[in-house]
Amino acid sequence: MIFIAVKWTIKPEYADRFPELAREFTEACRQEPGNIFFEWSKSLEEENTYQLVEAFQDGAAEAHVNSDHFKKFVSEAPDYVAETPKIVSVQGVDQDGWGEMGEVKPR
């Protein structure tokens, strides 16, 4: 599995609307062959910041970055970002999706 986390700091004037601005891109990515998950979260600590957590089957990321929806979104994103997004990308993760956290169980 390829695991990717991206931190997006959005210009204040677009921050509240960013989920809608990214909706078409998000929905298209979730439909890609090899996509395991593609999830956005808003930071509780950093204003105007969103985190994108995504995973693909090994070998599927190349098709992702070469897709028309990816190219369209990254061509539009510079209008919305306050700084260059930060990324962590790890290949060869020995999982096929979310696993359970062993230290916390519901009572």
DSSP string, 11-42: PHHHHTTHHHHTHHHHHHHHTSTTEEEEEEEE
What is the residue range of 76's domain?
A: 2-90
Residue-wise pLDDT for 4-24, tens only, equals 999 999 999 999 999 999 999
Domain count, the chain: 1
Task: Calculate what percentage of the chain has a pLDDT beyond 70.
Answer: 100
22, part of any domain = yes
Q: Is the pLDDT of residue 31 over 90?
A: yes
Interval 63-91 mean pLDDT:
96
Q: What is the CATH number of the domain that holds 79?
A: 3.30.70.100
Residue-wise pLDDT for 58-76, tens only, equals 888 888 999 999 999 999 9
Interval 77-89 mean pLDDT:
97
